[in-house]
Amino acid sequence: MFDRIRKNARAAALLADVFDFDIARLDPVEPVRLASDGKLRAVAGDASGGTFFVCDEGPVLYADSEGAAAIVAADLDAVIRLVVGVPTWQDVAPNAPDINAMRASFESSYAEMKADEPRIEQLRSEVTAELKLDLVAVDELLASLSRCLTELSPNYVLLNEDGYEYDPM
């Protein structure tokens, strides 16, 4: 997936500019490591200073610039589907594991996003076509995000250079 994004300038630009997943922004706010000493590879950043990491060639951990971190997707393909399918996922995440609350939060935050970017549906379709990804239903994406936040995250504790744990998201 990462290679497909790097080779597709239009998809990379859409991901960075519209969906806040910038593969050129790889520097985390501070040096970090997994408590398990597992492999951690930065794959993208966002405008707020957060960083997406692939852990042990599997799940994707997101670390924000305020000291919170969590697994948000099972793999790189899943995180792309998440940021495109639920572009306001950060507003939704605090409501996990309550899927109904997550959906309500998504509907509200997505309505605001559509007001700011009326072409968002078209742009979602465009980036998924560019990357040859299927669109996944929002409820499925929310359920996956909830599972990642509540079930996978405890297995991937992020530490800063002083050994302090990041807070759960």
Q: What confidence tens digit (pLDDT) does each residue in 84-125 have?
A: 999 999 999 999 999 999 999 999 999 999 999 999 999 999
64, 49 in Cβ contact below 8 A? Answer: yes
29, 65 in Cβ contact below 8 A? Answer: yes
Confidence at residue 85, expressed as pLDDT on a 0 to 100 scale = 96
Question: Strand 40-45 vs strand 51-55: parallel, antiparallel, or unpaired?
Answer: antiparallel
Confidence at residue 94, expressed as pLDDT on a 0 to 100 scale = 96
Can you tell me whether residue 24 is helix, strand or coil?
A: coil
134 has pLDDT over 90? no
Report which of 95, 98, 94, 99 is spatially closest to residue 141, judged by C-alpha positions: 99
d(CA 151, CA 48): 26
pTM over 0.75: yes
Query: Cα(first)–Cα(last) distance of the chain, in Å?
Result: 25
Our count of domains for the chain comes to 1
Domain extent at residue 151: 2-168
Total Cβ atoms within 10 A of residue 21:
24
Both tokens assigned to 61? 């951990």
Both tokens assigned to 116? 């700011």
3 has pLDDT over 90? no
